[in-house]
Amino acid sequence: MENVLRPLIVIGGSVVLTLLIGWATDRLLRKADERHGETPLWGLLRRGRIPYQLVLCAAMLRGSYDETKVLETHKVAIGRVLTLVLIGAAAWLVIRITSAIVETTYTRYARVHRDPARVRRVRTQVSLIVRVVSAVVGVVAVAAMLLTFPAMRAAGASLLASAGILGIVAGVAAQSTLSNMFAGLQIAFGDMVRIGDTVVVDGEWGTVEEITLTFLTVRTWDERRITMPVSYFTSKPFENWSRGGVEMTGIVYWHVDHSAPLDAMRDKLRDILRECPAWDGRAYGLDVTDSTPNTMQVRALVTAHDADDIWKVRVTVREQMIRWLSEEHPHALPRVNTADAVLPQSRGNGRPASSDRAAARRAYEPGTGRS
């Protein structure tokens, strides 16, 4: 009877005690979250209740398993499994706690600073810091798990003895991966590109959606995702429209007839922009930038708060200006001239001046007998 009750008491007591401690800790964190609503730390720490309970349960079972005297033939294997669960749960808990602390720091920074560029820069750095910590903790946890096996300890000693050769081989084999990792750190702390920046890469316009240690994701205007290695942004030129500020200046071109009313077009441009919510009111202008034998090129400059608004302003100005010209000044639109040339009239005899010039030229031609 004792052989049955003892394991039930030990195992059941460990599970019940784990649930009670976990419930009490969760209640304390919930009250702290309700009392200190200005910081999300306590609410974020509640996300770690599952690894927290796993750590408690694995630690109590591992410490009291020797007293249960259950499955004596598999005592070593069960004890090793509990140790592995304890190491894995502890690593999971450390990652959750680190993520909560870093996220709380970023939230406080975003509340204090109103500069969007600085906030996006800190957000990029925070994201990469969490990923680096997660990678380091994961590697340490796996190493600790492997060291629990006696065979792995001997392999570890041999590995340390040949660390120099293995390091060179690993560096050559993982050259691209390591370059991407260092490029990711350079992007995070060099402020080259941030999450939320508007960029143009390989002719594609989009917004930076995600930055990791090895790759970067750009969301295009048509909801596509372009994934590329972060080393691209440290080795090739690219356009960052959000660098130094998100305000932008846009250009709209028209090809119109030489008789187009430029002053009226400037007034119409002003009226269109005043009724466009996306225009930020900073500046506008309309000038002739080029001329051809048939048309002239008119350029309008408009401003907006960001890349999305500048697109709306440009399409609105282009559409409404063309509509206004076709309705009010149709002669200003480009035309192909197919009319016959009108010759100027002569002054006295009613014949065209060109006929007079031709007759005079024939009168003095050699061989006509005239002088």
Establish if 344 belongs to a structural domain.
Answer: no
pLDDT of the residue at 289: 92
Establish if 210 belongs to a structural domain.
Answer: yes
Residues 285 and 159 in one domain: no
Establish if 24 belongs to a structural domain.
Answer: yes
Establish if 364 belongs to a structural domain.
Answer: no
pLDDT of the residue at 169: 46
C-alpha span between 180 and 167 (Å, rounded): 18
pLDDT of the residue at 345: 66
Cβ atoms 195, 211 nearer than 8 A? yes
Residues 278 and 200 in one domain: no
Question: Which residues contact residue 205 at a Cβ distance below 8 angstroms, ignoring those fewer than 6 apart?
Answer: 198, 199, 220, 221, 307
Establish if 352 belongs to a structural domain.
Answer: no
Q: Taking each helix axis from N to C terminus, what angle separates 116-147 and 150-161, rounded to the nearest 10 degrees?
A: 110
Residues 26 and 167 in one domain: yes
Cβ atoms 135, 128 nearer than 8 A? no
pLDDT in tens, the chain (371 residues): 555 566 677 677 777 888 888 888 888 888 887 787 777 777 778 788 888 888 888 888 777 766 555 556 666 777 778 888 888 888 888 888 888 888 888 787 777 776 676 677 777 777 777 877 888 888 888 877 777 777 666 555 554 444 444 454 444 444 455 566 666 666 666 667 888 888 888 888 888 888 877 778 888 878 888 888 877 777 788 888 777 667 888 899 999 998 899 999 999 999 999 999 999 888 899 999 998 888 899 999 999 988 888 889 999 999 999 999 999 998 888 876 666 666 666 555 545 555 554 444 454 444 444 43
Domain harbouring 263, CATH code: 3.30.70.100
Residues 159 and 13 in one domain: yes
Residue 352 has what DSSP assignment? B
pTM of the model: 0.46
Residues 21 and 132 in one domain: yes
Domain range for 293 is 248-332
pLDDT of the residue at 67: 59
Establish if 160 belongs to a structural domain.
Answer: yes
pLDDT of the residue at 313: 93
Residues 117 and 264 in one domain: no
pLDDT of the residue at 155: 54
Last residue of a domain, one of 173, 203, 221: 173
Residues 31 and 129 in one domain: yes
CA atoms within 13 A on the CB side of 142: 5
Cβ atoms 330, 288 nearer than 8 A? no
Last residue of a domain, one of 240, 262, 285: 240
Residues 20 and 120 in one domain: yes
Helix locations, the chain, DSSP H: 2-35, 41-45, 49-68, 75-112, 116-147, 150-161, 163-173, 175-190, 232-235, 262-274, 307-328, 353-363
Tokens representing 333? 């639109």
Nearest C-alpha neighbor of 83 from the set 54, 104, 106, 53? 54
Total domain count for the chain?
A: 3
Give the bridge partners for 298, in sequence order. 254, 288
CA angle 122, 111, 246 (to 5 degrees): 60
Sheet of 296-304: strand order equals 248-256, 296-304, 279-291
